[in-house]
Amino acid sequence: MGKSRESDPPPNPTSDAELIGPLRVALVDAAEPRRYRLLATLFQELADLSGDGVNGQPGGLIEQLKSASARNHSLQEDLARLRDELAGRNAEYAVCAKRLEAETQEKVELQRRLTRFEPQLAELQREREALQAKLAAVNNELHRAGVEIEQTQLKLQRAEKQLHERARSEASDSRTAEIAARCRQLEDTIEQLRVDRDAEIERLNAELETLRGSATAGAETTLASLWHRLASLRPPLADPGQPNQQAADRLIGALAEFATFADECEKDMRVIVGNGLYTKDGEQLRMLWNDYMERDELRQTVRQTLAARAGRPTAVLRTRLDLPRRWLRSALWANDSALQSLDGELTAYLRDPEVLGGNPKLTVRDFVAQSGPSHFMEHMRRFRNRKLEELLGQ
C-alpha cells in the first residue's frame, strides 16, 4: 500500500458498517493467533499510509497504532510463554494424575487383599486364644508338678539327714576311742613341748641379758662421744665430763626443740614472704623465691638426715638451714633499712614534681586527699623489696 496524494480522487462514501462488517467476520472466523497477526498487519499498513494522517485523521493515530502494534507483539510473546507454561503444567498434571491413579489402584489392591485375609486373621486369632488357654492349663499343671517335686525333695532331704545322723552316730562311737587315744598322745607331746619351751626361754633370756649389756655399753660410748663433741664446740654447748641418763634425755629433748623451732620459723617465713608483697616487683627475686619453695620442708630434711639407713650428710642440713636464715636476715634488714630511710625518701618524694603535680603550694590536707600516703607506702614497699634483692645477692 502506497501513500495517498492530494491529486488522488476522494474515496467513495461508504458506511462504517459496510467497512467493519467484513473485517469483523474475518477476525471472528480466524484462529486467535491469526487474529492477532491480522490486527498487527492492519495496524502496520495503516501506519505506513501516511506520516501526517490517514483520511484526514491527525498523525497521533499513527503513533497509537504503532504502540498498539508493539503491545500486541508483547502480548503475543506473553501468550506463547504462558502456553508453554500451561503445556508444562499440563504435563506435570498428567504425571500426577497417573501417579494418583497408580496409588489409587494400589490402595484398592491392598484393600482387596485385606478383605481376603480377614477370615484367615480371625481364624488365627481364634487359634491364638485356644493356644493361650492350653498354655495356661499347662502352666497350672507345671506349677502343681513343681510343688509336688519340692515336697518330695524335702522328704528326701529329711530322710537323708536321718540316715546321715544315724551313720554319724554309729561312726562316732568307733571314732571316740580313737580320739581319746590320740588326745592322750597329744597331751604327752604338749608336755614335752612345754618343757622344751621353758628351756629355750631360759637360754634366750641369758642371751638377751648379754646383748643388753653390750648395747648399753655401746650406747654409753656413743652418748659420751656426742657429749664430748658438744663440749668441744666454740662456744661449747655442754660441760666436760661424763653425762648421765637424765642429761641424755635432756639432750634429746633439746635437739627436738631446736628442730621444731627452726621448722616453725621457716613456716612463718614462708607465710610472710610468700604473700607476694615482697617478690612481685622483681623478676630475679621471684625466681629465687620460687626456687626456695620447690625444696623439701625443713622437717623432711631433718628426717632424711637422721635416717637409720642411707641418711643424708649433715652438710645438706647445714645448707638447708642457711637458706631460711638468709631470707629472714635479709627481710629484717630490708625492713629496717626502709624504716631508717623513711625521712629521706619522704622528703625526696614530696619534692618530686610529678608527685605534687607541679603545684609547690600543695598542702598536707590536699596531699592526703589525693591518696598521697597510699602512693608513698607503695613507693616504700618497692624500696624495701629492692633492698631485699640486694641483700640476697650479697
5: confidence class by pLDDT, cuts 50, 70, 90: very low
Predicted confidence (pLDDT) at residue 124 exceeds the cutoff of 80? yes
E-strand stretches of the chain: none
Predicted confidence (pLDDT) at residue 289 exceeds the cutoff of 60? yes
List the Cα angle 193/199/203 in 5-degree steps.
140
Closest of 333, 350, 347, 346 to residue 384, by C-alpha: 333
Cell output for 242: 661424763
Phi, psi (deg, nearest 5) at residue 55 = 55, 40
Q: What is the C-alpha separation between 372 and 349, in angstroms, rounded?
A: 10
What average pLDDT does this structure show over 361-389? Answer: 77
Are 276 and 385 contacting, i.e. CB atoms less than 8 angstroms apart? no
pLDDT tens, residue by residue, 139-187: 888 888 888 888 888 888 888 888 877 777 777 767 777 777 777 787 7
61: confidence class by pLDDT, cuts 50, 70, 90: low
Are 49 and 3 contacting, i.e. CB atoms less than 8 angstroms apart? yes
pTM: 0.38
Predicted confidence (pLDDT) at residue 232 exceeds the cutoff of 80? no
Are 50 and 21 contacting, i.e. CB atoms less than 8 angstroms apart? no
Give the residue extent of every domain in the chain. Answer: 16-107, 245-393
